[in-house]
Structure 1
Amino acid sequence: MINYMLGVQRKDKVWFEITDDQSDRSSAHSLTSSITVYGFYLQESKTDLTIIDTPGYGDTRGVEKDKEIAESLLSLCESAEGIHEVDAVCLVMMAHQNRLSDRQRYIFDAVQSLFGRDIAENIVLLFTHSDGARPKNALTAVKEAKVKCAVNEQNQPVFFLFNNRQSEAADEEYEMMQEQSWNLSFKGMEGLFKFLDNIKPKTLKMTQDVLQKRKQLDAKLNNLQSRVEVMKLKQNELKQTQEALRKNKKNVEENKNFEYEVEVAYKEKVDIDPAVAYKAVCCSVCEENCHYPGCWLARDPSWCEVMKDEHCTVCTDKCHYSEHVKEAKIYVTKIKKEKRTYRDLKKKYEDKIGHGVSVVKKLEEELQELEKEKIKLVIEAFHCVETLERIALNTVSLFILQHIDVLIEKLKEINEPEKAEILEDIKTRAGEKKKH
């Protein structure tokens, strides 16, 4: 791209390559280890070029590394000096491929899941190692993988061909082949820049919404599972209390005190690996992990993606960000055995709502309130997936699918079969896509 912008010709017998000179931060600066942003402002060219490169996507470090890339992209969208619109998203593959590898399919799906639906007409295909012929098999592979991209007047994918051998030393024996490769690549670059001149750039506002919704969904579902665990333990505590009252029915009727033992759930803050200490935002009031794991770039709780209008969107009481901390600790739920007395149990409820209260009835009411909170949280998580379905270019991605089974199970538990069926449909479509 840079040599094309500089007007380098084959007869010049020169080829410029970019080196990342750390002393000159104006030519290239690294946002994180995941994303590098290159800015080129050349006097020899009428075009200013910014390239966002994600070289680590889909590598062996797995989903957590890919989530960091999504996090970096979101930070890039949100920062004042960041990127707020893009002209094109370029997906690169070899021209002779007749199918996408599992890794490529994963990468293409994951990349598309980062963007809003409005970006589809700005996605183009770049085929390398081309012999100049139409890459029929590669195009078929793209179609079968249901990759969304720009199309031409014939409703065919927009693509450009390259054979990047320009930097190879001149060899008389292969002179004709090297010249053909040069011409092919520069023709491809000419077509790409013409496309860039004519396409309307897209704001990353919808993409920013997609990334934020995905973060909130992640956090809500992780928090949901933790709170459901606490609810089950509270249910168990209730049943043990009810059993104690049943065994001591005569004492209850005669209003005599007695002692019983129950298993009680409690929260304790524990240390996490200092290497990932920057990944936890917790509420000190609700004693909950509001964003763990996955909070990479937020310097303090007020910057965290789960915050909206200065309040948390995840914790039970939706507390102000000032009640949250970001440190190398998270809350874990533990169980301890505790001796209690009937006198204290009765006093607890009398203090709350007065004399004459049925202790058993009040315990059941508390359990019902917990169930209502669980239902509310599950529905919120479902609506988050619904929103992603509406605005994301690709929702059938690993980022969504890793949560779907849990959410389907919870929707069935709260008797929402229709909502569960909607998610089953997303899962089915993902399965069909994988078969192709």
Structure 2
Amino acid sequence: MINYMLGVQRKDKVWFEITDDQSDRSSVHSQTSSITVYGFYPQESKTDLTIIDTPGYGDTRGVDLDKQIAESFLRLSESAEGIHEVHAVCLVINATQNRLSDRQIYIFDAVQSLFGRDIAENIALLFTHSDGFPPVNVLTAVKEAKVKCAVNDKNQPVFFLFNNRQSDAAYEEYETMQDQSWNLSFKGMEGFLKFLDNIKPKSMQMTRDVLQNRQQLEANISNLKERVKMIELKQKELKQTQEAMEKNKKYVEDNKNFEYEVEVPYKDWVDIDRSKASKAMCCRVCEENCHYPGCWKWTSLFNVFNRDASILLCEMIDFNDHCTVCTKKCHYSKHVKEAKIYVTKTKKEKRTYEDLKKKCEDKIGDGVSVVQKLKEELQELEKEKIKRVIEAFDCVETLQMIALNTVSLFILQHIDSLIEKLKEINEPEKAKTLEDIKKRAGEEKKKK
């Protein structure tokens, strides 16, 4: 791109390359360590060029690095000196391929899941290692993989051909072939830059919405899993109580005291596993992890006055200074951001029938049986469980409405447990929706 913009010709026998000056990094550059931003402003060209490179997607370092790339991209879009509109998203594919590998599909899905639906017409395919002939096989592979991109007036994917041999040493016996490679690549670049001239740039606003919704989704599902776990443990505790009463039915009928043992759930405040995160945002009232892992926003000076800025700047705090995740949606002042999280645990406790009866009477008054109260509490817990599972599913649906690609790692990390819970509450259609998303991500294929 840059050599084309500088007007480099083959006869010049010159080829420019980019070098990274580590001593002159901008603040945006330093904030986004998992992506690189190249700014190119040549006097020889009428066009300025900014390239955002996202290396490392889908490599052996796994999901955590992919999440860092998405978070860095969000930070870049939010920064005052960052990127606020995008002209094109380029997917680079070898023209000789007749199918896309699972890893490529995963990478393209991950890249596309960064953007809103409005970016689709700005996605261009760049085919490398081309011999200049129509790339029939790779186009078929792209269509089969359902890669979203711009289309021409014939409803075919917009693509450009390249053969990147420009910087190779010149050999007289291969001069004709090298000329062909050079001309092919520069023709492809000419077409691509015309595409950029004619396409309207897209604001990053919808993309920011997508990324923020993804973070909200991950936080909600993580929190939901803990809440559902607590609900199920409370249900288990009540069922153990019911069993104890059934076992001691004669004592109950005679209104006599007896002792029984149950497993009681509780929250423990423990240190974070530093390999997963450095801090978490937690509610001290609800005793819940509102954002863990993934809480990265840092303090800004304008938020310091009379406020705990490190809490306020968590992505889960809304414009009214309340948490969007914890059960009671508490004010940010009820939260802490520390290297600790809540973990649900259980302990065995011995109880008496007299204590249980008094507890029930305190809640509902005389005249209502303990058995009836236990049944009512179980029903309320089941309603709460259903509400929380549906709430998590609704987050996925919201993401589907605005995201170009809903297959994100954030969903896949939690999707199995959410499918299981939807089936438990008799929501087979919603469960199937998530199973289809999982299938789209290639998870089923990997298992076979």
TM-score (norm 2): 0.88
Cα distance in 2 between the residues matched to 1:186 and 1:252: 89
Q: CA deviation at 1:144?
A: 1.2
Deviations 1:29-67 (A, max 9, x none): 243332111222222221121111101111111122111
Q: Which amino acid aligns with 2:427?
A: E
Describe the shift of the 1:200–1:119 C-alpha distance in structure 2 as closer, same or farther (beyond 3 A).
Answer: same
Q: Is the contact made by 1:132 and 1:184 (CA closer than 8 Å) also made in structure 2?
A: yes
Which amino acid is the alignment partner of residue 374 of structure 2?
L
Amino acid at match of 2:100: L
- SS across alignment from 1:33: coil
State the alpha-carbon separation in 1 of the partners of residues 398 and 25 from structure 2.
Answer: 39
Match of 2:369 among 343, 349, 358: 358
- The one-letter code sitting in structure 2 at the alignment partner of 1:196 is L
Which runs of 5 or more residues in structure 2 are unaligned?
300-309
CA distance in 1, matches of 2:267, 2:180: 69
- SS of the residue corresponding to residue 373 of structure 1 reads helix
1:241-295 per-position Cα deviation (integer Å, ceiling 9, x unaligned) = 2334445556555655544332211111222233433353222221112222333
Render the CA deviation track for 1:174-199: whole Å, top value 9, x for unaligned.
32222222222222111111111110
Please give the alpha-carbon distance, in whole angstroms, between the structure 2 residues aligned to 1:340 and 1:363: 15
Could you tell me how far 1:86 is from its partner in structure 2? 0.5
Give, in whole Å, the separation in 2 of the partners of 1:235 and 1:303: 36
Separation of aligned partners in 2, 1:82 and 1:136: 38
Q: Deviations over 1:386-410 (max 9, x none)?
A: 1222222122455434433322322
Matched, 1:308 2:279: no
Name the CA distance, whole Å, in 1 between partners of 2:153 and 2:85: 25
Select between 251-260 and 46-55 the one with higher mean Cα deviation: 251-260
Residues 296-340 of structure 1, C-alpha deviations (whole Å, 9 max, x = no match):
455633333333332222221122223222322221111111223
Distance change (3 Å), C-alpha of 1:192 and 1:340:
same
**Is the 1:27–1:38 Cα contact (8 Å) retained in structure 2?**
no
Partner SS for 1:312: coil
**What is the match of residue 410 of structure 1?**
421
CA distance in structure 2 between the partners assigned to 1:284 and 1:272 by the alignment: 16
What are the within-5 Å matches in structure 2 for residues 92-131 of structure 1? Answer: 92-131=92-131
* Structure 1 residues 400 and 277: CA distance shift in structure 2, 3 A: closer
Q: Deviations over 1:167-220 (max 9, x none)?
A: 223333332222222222222111111111110011122222222222222222
Q: Which residue of 1 is the match for residue 137 of structure 2?
A: 137
**TM-score, with structure 1 as normaliser:** 0.91
2:306 is matched with none
Q: Aligned ranges for residues 187-202 of structure 1 at < 5 Å?
A: 187-202=187-202
- Matching of residues 281-300 of structure 1 within 5 Å: 281-297=281-297, 300=310
Secondary structure at the aligned position of 1:242 is classed as helix
CA contact (8 A) 2:102 2:442 kept: no
Quick one: distance in 1 between partners of 2:28 and 2:20? Answer: 7
1:135 corresponds to which letter in structure 2? P
- Compare 228-237 and 425-434 and name the one that shifted more: 425-434
For residues 72-91 of structure 1, the aligned pairs below 5 Å read: 72-91=72-91
- Indicate the SS of the match to 1:71: helix
| Structure 1 residue 323 corresponds to structure 2 residue 331 | no
CA RMSD in angstroms comes to: 2.6
Measured against aligned partners, the alpha-carbon deviations of 1:334-360 in whole angstroms (never above 9, x if no partner) come to 111122334443443444444555333
Match of 1:369 among 380, 384, 398: 380
Whether contact under 8 Å (2:76, 2:82) holds in the other structure is yes
Counterpart in the other structure of 1:333: 344
- Please give the secondary structure, in 1, of the residue aligned with 2:39: strand
Q: CA separation of 1:142/1:279 partners in 2, compared to 1, >3 Å: closer, same or farther? A: farther
Q: Distance in 2 between matches of 1:256 and 1:249?
A: 10
Inter-partner Cα distance in structure 1 for 2:296 and 2:385: 28
Query: What is the rounded CA distance, in whole Å, between the counterparts of 1:367 and 1:433 in structure 2?
Result: 36
* Identity of matched residues, %: 80
Any idea what SS the aligned residue of 2:277 has? helix
Partner letter of residue 24 of structure 2? D
Secondary structure of the structure 2 residue equivalent to 1:29: helix
**Matches of 1:183 and 1:168 in 2, distance apart?**
14
Cα gap change, 1:169/1:297 in structure 2, threshold over 3 Å: closer, same or farther? farther
In the alignment, the residues of structure 1 paired with residue 35 and residue 439 of structure 2 have an alpha-carbon distance, to the nearest angstrom, of 33
3-state SS in 2 of match to 1:281: strand
Change in 2 beyond 3 A, CA 1:113/1:187: same
* C-alpha distance in structure 1 between counterparts of 2:276 and 2:415, whole Å: 26
Q: 1:427 to 1:62 in 2, by over 3 A?
A: closer
Distance in 2, matches of 1:77 and 1:120, equals 18
- Give the distance between the partners of 1:36 and 1:226, measured in 2 at CA: 36
What are the within-5 Å matches in structure 2 for residues 4-403 of structure 1?
A: 4-26=4-26, 29-249=29-249, 252=252, 257-278=257-278, 280-297=280-297, 300-309=310-319, 310-403=321-414
283-292 vs 136-145, which moves further: 283-292
Structure 1 stretches of 5 or more lacking a match? none
